[in-house]
Copies of this chain bind each other. A is one copy, B any other.
Amino acid sequence: MKVNCMNKRKLQIGVIGDSQIRSDLQYKIAYEIGQEIAHSGSILICGGRGGVMLAATKGAYDAKGISIGILPAGVEDEELSPYLTVRIPTFLHWGRNPLVVLASEGVIACGGNIGTLSELAYAALYDRPIVCITSIPGWSQEIGERGSLQNPPVSEQIYHAETGIEAVKKIIEVISTSK
Contacts and interface: CB of A to CB of B under 8 A. Distances in A.
Interface of A: 1-6, 9-10, 12, 43, 54, 61, 68, 70, 73-74, 82-95, 98-99, 102-103, 112-115, 117-118, 121-122, 124-126, 137-139, 142, 149-152
A29 to B, nearest CB: 17
Q: Specify which of A9, A87, A92 lies most central, judged by the most chain B CB atoms within 10 Å of its CB.
A: A92
B137 A152 contact: yes
A91 B82 contact: no
A160 to B, nearest CB: 16
A151 B126 contact: no
Given A61-B5, A86-B68, A118-B125, A142 B151 contact: yes
A111 to B, nearest CB: 8
B3 A82 contact: yes
Given A86-B12, A118-B122, A118-B125, A95 B94 contact: no
5 contacts: A1-B54, A2-B82, A88-B88, A90-B95, A94-B98
Contacts of A61: 5
A67 to B, nearest CB: 11
Nearest to A18: B151
